[in-house]
Chain A
Amino acid sequence: MIELLGATKRFGARCAVDRLDLEVRPGELFAFLGPNGAGKTTSIKMICGLLSPTSGEARVGGRPSSSPEARRLLGYVPDQPYLYDKLTGREFLRFVVEMHDIESRRAERRILELIETFEMGDFIDELCENYSQGMKQRVVFASALVHDPKALVVDEPLVGLDPRSARIVKDLFVSQARAGCAVLMSTHLLSIAEELADRIGIVDHGRMLAVGGLAELRERLQHEGPLEDLFLKLTDDRRAGAKPASNGVAP
């Protein structure tokens, strides 16, 4: 459902993403890990059609990711979400469903479901300018799901959420994936990846260092410790200029 095929993105002389291959299948929850500046957000922006690859391809549902058809399939929660200050949360959700041309009765039903799921009933009719960070984040999540996307891309999903909201979001990722949605989440919280992800991709300097299930990665890297140790081992090796492993882990 979500594909990067040899995607490279150059900003002048700097290569932010280097021949990256990535696939997230329907029903899969994929965690995208990497240190700061590794190229995660650039990759996500290519998937969402906000940046076009310098070479290679980014596709959603088999369509080029910059096409309106691909955007209809996609729900996106950026690392710095945007809300209109002078709209209420409900008006914002209505705007999103109108942009996706969803039939009004079905849209209203869906909005009510999401208000209930994210427990937004107390504030959904206030202007967004009065929301706290957590309230904003919940509205943004609802807006990414209101059109029933086939692919959900989330950059740093738990920033600004209280433990209860974080729990809701985590459950939601799992339920979306189980319902057939391809979920790609980029995060620094390794525990979330460890807890939720079907597969994990570790990226650094724009290149995929390793990809696979947690058990698979442990086996390949011959490392039995927690994901944090595994992550640090991979990225530290890379910084130290170690040669790529010959055990199936990508250079």
Chain B
Amino acid sequence: MSDTRDETPDYGDWEPVIGLEVHAQLLTESKLFCGCSASFGAAPNAHTCPVCMGFPGVLPVLNERALEFAIRTGIATGCTIPTRARWARKNYFYPDLPKGYQISMFDEPLAIGGGIDVETPAGTKRVRLTRIHMEEDAGKNIHDTDDAHSLVDLNRAGVPLMEIVSEPDIASAAEAADYLRTLRSLLQYLEVCDGNLEQGSFRCDANVSVRKKGDPKLGTRTEIKNINSFRNVERAIDSEIRRQIDLIESGGTVRQETRGWDADRGRTLAMRSKEDAHDYRYFPEPDLLPLEVPRERIEAIRGELPELPAARRDRFVEQYGIPDYDAGVLTARRDLADYYEAAVRTHPNPKALSNWVMGDVLRTVRERGLDEALVIRDWPVSAESLGRLVARIDDGTISGKIAKTVLEEMLASGAEPDDVIERKGLRQVTDAGAITGAVEEVLAANPDKVAEYRGGKDKLLGFFVGQIMKATGGKANPQAVNQILRARLGEPGTSSGG
């Protein structure tokens, strides 16, 4: 995740209108309609069976956890869950779709309406949802093996997806990225999707059109596919907005079409499409009965919803007295928020721990490139250890500066803070006698600097402090050093104040 972003681009008197379709892979063990594993990375076609390979005579049976996850998402986004949904066949021919149709939902989706509150620099923005429905994923084609053939791996075919469709309420590329971050965070909190863009478990298509400001009529839209990072979401949408404006201003018209994002060239390209590519001839799936979800089941799922990011953010501000910005960063990911709260339980200094988590922990996580994975799983320092480390600063055992050294050692070896402090002899020296000794040594070694200081060059105080810290291996308590040093040197020059 990036904190930096360009200023809102200026499109003159044009106004972009953006709607997003997100395909989120549900975190189930098995596929939507068969018992094959839904996990990523197996040998080609290892996770297949006659059902997901589309052999004749097989029948799909619905995965109940996938259904529960989709309902959970619908409830958490304020959707209406109709008493009945219906499966539909979406018919098209492609080698990654073994049955010749995808089991999806069409006119009776699982969840309708609702919306997501997105924090933007301009305040909270409500993006309405059109619908959420369930469907099965397709397989994977590999094209670059030889000139005459493509290869097909059906491990992904039949993996459960949820498609979340927004209304065209999004007004800029940056807002689209904010929406996606918010949605991803929500799905991670709900534990229904891992939100991994690179591995394709959270995929986004964008519908983009432009119109003159104030024009109530929508322009012709294009659909952009193949966007696989938050950065590319912004780039792809911005580039498509500019392409459409340039086209219209030079007398052309926008064609309704599907365009692919080419990250290397930084622009969208029309994908070759036949005129009937969207003629899917949906019809009710005869192999599955309608989906009737009893009210009690919906209410039970509602009752089990975890605390959601917006509520948790408010609670952090209230309960821990940390700034809203900090609470926003800490609650953006459920695992990070859990980590922070566990650290605070170990050592109740919420402000200091917030600084450590937002500073050293997140910085190291980014440096190690872990920020797309679940942060804490790969982070070697437990929340309790971090709490104990900060406790050692607060009880005066080590200074904040030494604590950073201790953390590095904890990261490298997985050791506990107390072990590192003892083993490396990092305990802070607060004993006045020992510090006075070091002060005397440094002053005796630098008589000329002492004279300069007394002559009025008060900036030299920092030099003496530095030398003393060096002589004590950084272990001297800085406040004690300052106090003893000032007492020993007296006021610089003749000035008495300052």
Pair from one complex: no
